[in-house]
Chains A and B, each alone.
Chain A
Amino acid sequence: MQSEVQFAGFGGQGIMLMGQILAQAAMQAGFEVVWIPSYGPEMRGGTAYCTVVISDRPIGSPIIRNPKHLVAMNRPSLEKFASTVKPGGVIFINSSIISIEAGREDVDVLKVPIIEIAKDLGNVRAANIIALAAFVARSKIVDFDLLRESVKEKFAEKEKLIPLNMKALEEGRKAALS
């Protein structure tokens, strides 16, 4: 079994970090994982995206044209990648800034206003963690407890931010399941 998640958005939205946290959690769950970034000048202020491949077997091609899931953090990402997602996958939409629809009937569309939720938590920078939590809760791609551990590990050097991100995880999960 192999699943792939494409994370896409603006540079600065924490796209790479979301992918790394998911990859870390999947590794802890015993899966084979690959995280692949977009890199170079295209990252400077423009679109940033990364792909995480999770599998129970050694991963062959790390280049994925048709991911199982998409986490779209801005409108251009949704426009560009919505049609590539495999039927039956999850398309996460950051509805705070994306006003259009995914345009797909054969996928599970999850819209969460992550920026508003993050503002309510007191720090807009937690928006990516809310999105990641909502996506994981809906797709069940990894165990939620492992995601929590992975977030803690990622913020180990910025310990002050851990309580905020734990709250963000809970809010994201609530939003996905409500």
Chain B
Amino acid sequence: MGKVLMKGNEAIGEAAIRAGCLNYFAYPITPQSEVAEYLSRRMPEVGGVFLQGESEVAVSYMIFGAAGCGERIFTTSSSPGISLMSEGISYIAGAQCPAVFVNIMRGGPGLGGILPSQADYLQSTKGGGHGDYKLLVMAPASVQEAVEMVMRAFALAEKYRNPIMILGDGLIGQMMEPVEFPDHLKVEATNKDDWATNGMDTRKSKNRNLVKTMYLDPEELNAHNLKLKAKYEQMAREEILYESYNLEGDYKVLIVSYGTMSRVCRTAIDNLKENGLEVGMVRPQHLFPFPNQAILKAAEKPNCQAILSVEMCMGQMVEDVERSVQGKRPVAWYGKCGGEVPTPEEVMEEVQKLMN
């Protein structure tokens, strides 16, 4: 199959099927309802499960119940819906079940707006629900990358027995771009017999399995949390993913940006280069674990005078950027929210300000 022109939301749905996930539960919310619309037609064609739940809260537990049985499962939503699902996500992380969540972000807080936003960065990368847990957070910058991340997410979810969050802004869901579905990204599901409640008859061992999150004994709960922490540390060692742009040159400013925003920055960097100003960029493709070392290394280049975190929100990732840079260079933030996407010209202006 060659390239097809597809809307991000539909491509995300198709990518999950191509990755071998035939189970989808969801609740409609703008700007990602096309995923549910697409899969309501597509899942029956491939013998999969499609169900529209009664609320995002219920959907997050349908995901939990299905994931607990060891089946590949995913859902999609947008910011207010993800807030509602955060309860279930905490349980899924606590019970160590693999599941994939997609957040096509819109502006907040509250109902906010329906236009693109990146205002759920902190919610996604720092847990989101109650308790000590982390999600591996992937941030696509194109429809093609969204497809590839969805396809990789299921294997990662199973590797870590942890929920994965794919964090796209509204544009990733709404825009159409040419896409290809790479067959090699389909990974066979792992054997889950040692933990999933898939029915004792289906397993070699006749021990029963429990999917649970409660540990009333403080020592046991502490041990459980240490086990979870070890997984997040393993993620930090093995799952750092970022892209560098124009880091070979003698850049004066380093931009850190992700998702659609990073594309705007790329255009700004190209334009600045034509005007004789070199600017580099680190684009985190995974937001958790965050590429601290890569950003520090890029920031420490001798002529780099300042770091600019550019976000479609009021400055969330900038906290992680500051932590990465460790005070060795000044860190600034620039962004807009509510569906206002900063233009390349505005980013160029902010960079120029840092040079003065």
- CB within 8 Å of B: which residues of A? 20, 23-24, 27, 32-37, 39-41, 59-63, 65
A60 with B5: CB separation less than 8 A: no
- CB within 8 Å of A: which residues of B? 3, 5, 30-31, 114-115, 170-171, 174-178, 260, 263-264, 266-268, 270, 341, 343-345
Chain A residue nearest to B264 in the complex (CB): A61
B176 with A23: CB separation less than 8 A: yes
A39 with B178: CB separation less than 8 A: no
A33 with B5: CB separation less than 8 A: yes
Question: Which residues of B lie under 8 Å from residue A36 when comparing CB positions?
Answer: 171, 174-176
B176 with A40: CB separation less than 8 A: no
Q: Which of B30, B176, B260, B344 has the most CB of A within 10 A?
A: B176
Whole-angstrom CA separation of A62 from B173 in the bound complex: 13
Beyond A36-B175, A37-B174, A40-B114, is A23–B264 a contact (Cβ under 8 Å)?
A: no
Question: Which residues of A lie under 8 Å from residue B174 when comparing CB positions?
Answer: 36-37, 39
A20 with B176: CB separation less than 8 A: yes
Whole-angstrom CA separation of A60 from B343 in the bound complex: 11
B260: contacting residue among A20, A24, A62, A65, CB under 8 A: A62
A33 with B177: CB separation less than 8 A: yes
Chain A residue nearest to B30 in the complex (CB): A40
B274 to chain A, nearest CB (A): 13
A23 with B5: CB separation less than 8 A: yes
B245 to chain A, nearest CB (A): 10
Beyond A20-B5, A61-B264, A63-B343, is A40–B177 a contact (Cβ under 8 Å)?
A: no
A35 with B5: CB separation less than 8 A: yes
Chain B residue nearest to A19 in the complex (CB): B176
Give 13 CB contacts A-B under 8 Å: A20-B5, A23-B5, A24-B5, A36-B171, A37-B174, A39-B30, A40-B31, A59-B263, A60-B266, A60-B270, A61-B266, A63-B343, A65-B343
Beyond A62-B171, A65-B343, is A39–B31 a contact (Cβ under 8 Å)?
A: yes
Q: Which of B114, B170, B178, B266 has the most CB of A within 10 A?
A: B178
Whole-angstrom CA separation of A20 from B5 in the bound complex: 8
Chain A facing B: main interface SS: mixed
B267 with A61: CB separation less than 8 A: yes
A66 to chain B, nearest CB (A): 9
Question: Which residues of A lie under 8 Å from residue B343 when comparing CB positions?
Answer: 61, 63, 65
B175 to chain A, nearest CB (A): 5
Chain A residue nearest to B31 in the complex (CB): A39
Question: Which residues of B lie under 8 Å from residue A37 when comparing CB positions?
Answer: 174-175
Whole-angstrom CA separation of A37 from B10 in the bound complex: 14
B264 with A60: CB separation less than 8 A: yes
A60 with B267: CB separation less than 8 A: yes
A34 with B177: CB separation less than 8 A: yes
Whole-angstrom CA separation of A35 from B173 in the bound complex: 11
Question: Which residues of A lie under 8 Å from residue B5 when comparing CB positions?
Answer: 20, 23-24, 27, 33, 35
Question: Which residues of B lie under 8 Å from residue A27 when comparing CB positions?
Answer: 3, 5, 178
A35 with B30: CB separation less than 8 A: no
Q: Which of B171, B175, B260, B264 has the most CB of A within 10 A?
A: B175
A29 to chain B, nearest CB (A): 11
Q: With A33-B178, A60-B270 given, can you name 10 additional A-B contacts, CB distance below 8 Å?
A: A20-B176, A24-B5, A34-B175, A34-B177, A35-B177, A36-B175, A39-B114, A61-B266, A61-B267, A65-B343
Question: Which residues of A lie under 8 Å from residue B170 when comparing CB positions?
Answer: 39
B30 with A63: CB separation less than 8 A: no
Question: Which residues of B lie under 8 Å from residue A62 when comparing CB positions?
Answer: 171, 175, 260, 263
Question: Which residues of A lie under 8 Å from residue B266 when comparing CB positions?
Answer: 60-61
Whole-angstrom CA separation of A34 from B175 in the bound complex: 7
Question: Which residues of B lie under 8 Å from residue A60 when comparing CB positions?
Answer: 263-264, 266-267, 270, 344
A111 to chain B, nearest CB (A): 29
Whole-angstrom CA separation of A35 from B5 in the bound complex: 9
Question: Which residues of A lie under 8 Å from residue B171 when comparing CB positions?
Answer: 36, 62-63
Q: Which of A40, A41, A59 has the most CB of B within 10 A?
A: A40
Whole-angstrom CA separation of A116 from B172 in the bound complex: 38
Whole-angstrom CA separation of A7 from B344 in the bound complex: 22
B31 with A61: CB separation less than 8 A: no
A32 with B344: CB separation less than 8 A: no
Whole-angstrom CA separation of A160 from B267 in the bound complex: 43
Please list the 9 inter-chain residue pairs (A to B) with the smallest Cβ-Cβ separation, ordered nearest first: A60-B267, A35-B176, A61-B264, A40-B114, A60-B266, A61-B267, A63-B341, A36-B175, A27-B178
Question: Which residues of B lie under 8 Å from residue A40 when comparing CB positions?
Answer: 30-31, 114-115
